[in-house]
Structure 1
Amino acid sequence: MDTSSPSLRVGVVGYGHLGQYLVDRLLKDGPGLGLVLGFVWNRNSEKLRGLVPAELILEDLSSFANRRCDVIVEVCHPQIVREFGVHFLSRCHFMVGSPSALSDLDLNQKLQQASVQSGRTIYVPSGALWGGQDIQRLNDGGALKAVFVRMSKHPSCYRLRGDVLADWQEGEGKRVLFRGSVAELCPLAPNNVNTMAAAAVAAGTLSFAGVQGEIVSDTELKDYHVVEVEVTGSDGFSVHTVRRNPAKRGAVTGSATYQSFWNSLLICKGHGGRVYLC
């Protein structure tokens, strides 16, 4: 990289496992890649003490503009996208780590309008989605007919609303928790179906309501998550991929997704006022 080129200032919103990974990479590898950590915000700022340089801790997220970042990365919860997404886009590019929030049609429209008006980009990381850009190309070419995504995980890895999995027991095997549109799935499992949400973004003509998904609890999956994607195009075209993503028991995010997010962040340098799958 040309060391004379200006550095990209990055704000990280959220300090869970994924946020910690991105902050560590930014501090360690960022300068050599033209990336500078502008701030880190976490709902509980005490969690940052001793782990993040004091001058980089942002106590009040509403004052994010004072840090003059070029891109803000959200890796915590869809609620942050709802509360701050439009505000972020008024100042910088925005990488949405919780794209399940985009299943809200009104919010989605407001974010896209803010993106067009500001000329700044809404980045959606592909995460655990394999072949997302291929889906997008098929969609843009008018040849995409259907997308189905199945996510299978150990029951301890799910963070679902309600008591859908309250009675799970070891050794019970597979249990289909829900099958339907991604628009219906996102509110049920906002922290677990971001891969499906990324697929819905790629398949824009189908929308969240048109992309179908299924979440499966499987007590045999103690070391990895499984993501299956079935894509149907015109003239009999079809693709079926199966991705096994190593993951510890209880982990919401598979380990390979961490590197995927980092690779996505390296792309966030401005692609105009639009939604961009990275």
Structure 2
Amino acid sequence: MRVGVIGHGAIGSYLVDHIVSTDGLELSFVLTRTPVADVPWPATSELTEELLDGTDLVIEAAHPDIIATYGEQILSHADLMVVSAGGLVDDVRREQLVASARKHGRRIVVPYGALTGLESLAGRPSAWRSATITFVKPPQAFEPAPSDVRNSSVLYDGPVRGVAARYPRNVNAMVTFALATVGLDEARAVLVSDPSQSFATLDFTVTGKDGGTLHVTKNQPLIGVSGSEMPDAIVHSLRMHAGGRPGLWFG
């Protein structure tokens, strides 16, 4: 499988190292705004048809805007793994991308990331009646930073669609959760800044139409705005995709 990577930050560089050291995977290209010197693989700041030809999967690990800029171009050649799930919040854009994926026989894959239990959620989305997801993080883990960094405060409480517009780099798991369950307007997001926290806490509850519930809580150290497990989780999603079990996907 030939894999292209967009972004060369903490997640992108980790993916590149994994791909070049794994049998059965070949690095097609790395798209990055910052020049990368003295590397044995194609690094570029411009995505071209030539690079995409022969590429099987492109992993976006940069910013939601990448999906709007390059999504349809990528899907005309390869499957697309969207790490910045906020790029799928706009319904019109998402449907355009899904239509493009279907036209070209491709898939849009949303990786597991911080969301434990994605397969259980995505496997039966019509069964859920309500869904709530809460993030509690220290102030420095938010981008943009909260105005009050000394006191605990609720930064947002409402539909997932709204929080994605305010904190596009902090809420990928929330968007994935909403897409896998009751939708962006029905899933509730609660975002809390707490200076007493050194870890990130993710807590979600889904209630089924049969009255049953699923409740998951996870505490994780942080790397920047993401949990420390994020790079490994994306690699896990890559392995699952290569094995034909992509988790949450469209197309």
TM-score, length basis structure 2: 0.93
Equivalent in 98, 119, 127 of residue 113 of structure 2 = 127
Where in structure 2 are the equivalents of 1:65-104 lying within 5 Å?
65-66=51-52, 68-104=54-90
Are 2:171 and 1:214 aligned? no
Give the structure 2 partner of residue 255 of structure 1: 228
- Report the Cα offset of residue 235 of structure 1: 2.6
Are 2:43 and 1:57 aligned? yes
| Cα distance change of structure 1 residues 247 and 268 upon mapping to structure 2, 3 Å threshold | same
- Report the Cα offset of residue 90 of structure 1: 0.4
Q: Given residue 158 of structure 1, which amino acid in structure 2 is its aligned partner?
A: F
Q: Give % identity.
A: 30
Give the structure 1 partner of residue 9 of structure 2: 16
Give the structure 1 partner of residue 103 of structure 2: 117
CA contact (8 A) 2:202 2:218 kept: yes
* Larger Rg belongs to: 1
Is the partner of 2:106 in helix, strand or coil?
A: coil
- CA offset digits 1:200-225 (Å, max 9, x no partner): 2212xx22111111111011222x21
Is the partner of 1:261 in helix, strand or coil?
A: helix
Aligned partners of 2:209 and 2:37: how far apart in 1?
54
- Report the Cα offset of residue 64 of structure 1: 5.7
CA contact (8 A) 1:245 1:255 kept: yes
CA contact (8 A) 1:120 1:270 kept: no
- Report the Cα offset of residue 247 of structure 1: 1.5
CA contact (8 A) 1:121 1:271 kept: no
Give the structure 2 partner of residue 4 of structure 1: none
- Report the Cα offset of residue 59 of structure 1: 3.2
Is the partner of 1:156 in helix, strand or coil?
A: helix
CA contact (8 A) 1:121 1:275 kept: no
Whose helix proportion is higher, 1 or 2? 1
CA contact (8 A) 1:152 1:227 kept: yes
Unaligned stretches of 5+ in structure 1?
Answer: 1-7
Is the partner of 1:208 in helix, strand or coil?
A: coil
| Cα distance change of structure 1 residues 91 and 270 upon mapping to structure 2, 3 Å threshold | farther
Equivalent in 120, 141, 146 of residue 165 of structure 1 = 146
- Report the Cα offset of residue 192 of structure 1: 0.4
Q: Given residue 207 of structure 2, which amino acid in structure 1 is its aligned partner?
A: T
Aligned partners of 2:222 and 2:50: how far apart in 1?
33
Where in structure 2 are the equivalents of 1:228-243 lying within 5 Å?
228-243=203-218
CA contact (8 A) 2:52 2:77 kept: no
Question: Aligned Cα RMSD in Å?
Answer: 2.0
Equivalent in 30, 36, 54 of residue 40 of structure 1 = 30
TM-score, length basis structure 1: 0.84
Q: How many aligned residue pairs are there?
A: 249
Q: Given residue 232 of structure 2, which amino acid in structure 1 is its aligned partner?
A: Q
- Report the Cα offset of residue 41 of structure 1: 1.0
Where in structure 2 are the equivalents of 1:127-146 lying within 5 Å?
127-139=113-125, 142-146=126-130
CA contact (8 A) 1:138 1:233 kept: no
Q: Where in structure 1 do 4 or more consecutive aligned residues deviate above 6 Å?
A: none
| Cα distance change of structure 1 residues 207 and 128 upon mapping to structure 2, 3 Å threshold | same
Equivalent in 26, 35, 42 of residue 19 of structure 2 = 26
Unaligned stretches of 5+ in structure 2?
Answer: none
Aligned partners of 1:118 and 1:260: how far apart in 2?
27
